[in-house]
Amino acid sequence: MILSIAREFINGFWEKRIRAAAAAVAMVKFLKPNKAVIVLQGRYAGRKAVIVRSFDDGTRDRAYGHCLVAGIKKYPSKVIRKDSAKKTAKKSRVKCFIKLVNYQHLMPTRYTLDVDLKDVVTVDALQTKDKKVAACKATKERFEERFKTGKNRWFFTKLRF
Amino acid sequence: MAAGKKTKKTHESINNRLALVMKSGKYTLGYKTVLKSLRSSKGKLIIISNNCPPLRKSEIEYYAMLCKVGVHHYNGNNNDLGTACGKYFRVSCLSIVDPGKTEF
């Protein structure tokens, strides 16, 4: 009798593992940091942004899944070869925004943007205006230097709609 | 995933499996909850009716591509899918969260 109980216990042990493994194969979370998303609602609708930090289960203030995104308020203009250095500098300027957005108001894309913004863009940067401005300035620098390398071109082109 | 010419027999089996999931598993019906289940990666299979609007269909397929979840295009419109789920309303898309007693 003890053997049968032990066998059932062992079977139960493995069954849970097998189920977990099968479940793990099917599940891939994609709303993770560095994911490029498109904001769908609000003032920044149609703008591309990158997820800096995600709160899947919400917080006490926001009881829904949301994430902290850093996005582009004003895209850099098209830089052509004829431009002088002063003109390219002026055209490559990026204006940024930082926002907490509900998952429902985002469209995830298959693109990612590997810019390290975790130390700069934090939730308490959104508390006061001057902290927010400082954080926006820092992300603006990081975005601009990424734009100048010519990588992630999709992220820095305006979405036409 | 994408339906070719569906024979009668496989169509019946999908209906049977769907009935079993309704009875013993967990599922959500409707576009909003389907997207929610995809975002939280709880969905295991998404079923879309054939008269789902094409923009919505491609949006669900894109989300499913991102989280590597299968999409099944049901051979029937939303009325048929609702009936197959045993409901008296139309169902355009549904997400199976826990298959229950069906084999996957």
For A81-140, write each residue's pLDDT tens digit.
898 999 999 999 999 999 999 999 999 999 999 998 999 999 999 999 999 999 999 999
Interface test with A, best of B32, B41, B44, B97 (most A CBs within 10 A): B41
Given an 8 Å threshold on Cβ–Cβ distance, is B39 in contact with A103? Answer: yes
Which of the two residues, A50 and A6, has the higher pLDDT score? A50
Q: Which residues of B touch A54 (CB under 8 A)?
A: none
CB atoms within 10 A of CB A30: 19
Residues of chain B with pLDDT under 50: 1-3
**Closest by Cβ to B66, choosing from A56, A65, A108:** A108
List, as ranges, residues 34-73 from B with C-beta within 8 Å of A: 35, 39-42, 44, 59, 63, 65-69
Looking at residue B1, its pLDDT comes to 46
Measured CA to CA, the distance from residue B46 to residue B41 in angstroms comes to 12
Flag whether residue A33 sits within 8 Å of chain B, measured between CB atoms: no
Q: Which residues of A touch B102 (CB under 8 A)?
A: none
* Distance linking the first and last C-alpha atoms of chain A: 70
Return all residues near A67 (Cβ < 8 A) that are at least 6 apart: A31, A51, A52, A53, A54, A55, A100, A101, A103, A106
User: Does A44 have pLDDT greater than 90?
Assistant: yes
User: Does A24 have pLDDT greater than 60?
Assistant: no
pTM here is 0.82
**Average confidence score pLDDT of chain A:** 87
> CA nearest B102: which of B15, B1, B12, B24?
B24
Looking at residue A76, its pLDDT comes to 94
User: Does A5 have pLDDT greater than 70?
Assistant: no
- A vs B, Cβ pairs < 8 A, gives 30
Is the ipTM higher than 0.85? The answer is no
Measured CA to CA, the distance from residue B40 to residue B47 in angstroms comes to 17
Measured CA to CA, the distance from residue A19 to residue B15 in angstroms comes to 24
**Closest by Cβ to A28, choosing from B35, B67, B104:** B67
Given an 8 Å threshold on Cβ–Cβ distance, is A28 in contact with B39? Answer: no
